[in-house]
């Protein structure tokens, strides 16, 4: 058994668990009409910050309401 690999796996799992955020349900998000003419569109924005040194990928669970056919996600950051 290689303890270095096990320690690495444990650290990675701990970091991933620590950066799993609460589900986003848009209860207080701003409703705005989105682009397009093929039906009702809504744009909802969630903003937040991650601590310095966070990994490149963070799990963000999203509750998608019934009837949603498509959604898009974008992620931006500024380098210090």
Which pLDDT tens digit goes with each residue over 40-71? 677 777 777 778 787 777 777 777 777 777 88
Q: Percent of the chain scored above 70 by pLDDT?
A: 49
pLDDT score, position 21: 56
Which pLDDT tens digit goes with each residue over 15-47? 554 455 566 665 444 455 555 565 567 777 777
In terms of Cα–Cα distance, which of 62, 63, 60, 53 is closest to 75? Answer: 60
In terms of Cα–Cα distance, which of 15, 23, 17, 21 is closest to 49? Answer: 21
Contact 61, 24 (CB under 8 A): yes
Q: Model's pTM, two decimal places?
A: 0.39
pLDDT score, position 36: 56
- Among all chains, which residue has been given the structure tokens 């019934």? 66
User: What CA–CA distance (Å, rounded) separates 11 from 15?
Assistant: 6
């Amino acid at each position: 058994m290689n303890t270095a690999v096990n320690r690495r796996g444990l650290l990675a799992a701990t970091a991933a668990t620590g950066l799993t955020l609460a589900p986003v349900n848009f209860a207080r998000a701003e409703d705005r009409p989105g682009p397009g003419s093929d039906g009702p569109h809504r744009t909802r924005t969630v903003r937040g910050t991650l601590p310095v040194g966070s990994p490149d990928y963070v799990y963000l669970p999203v509750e998608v309401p019934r009837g949603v056919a498509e959604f898009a996600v974008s992620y931006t950051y500024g380098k210090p």
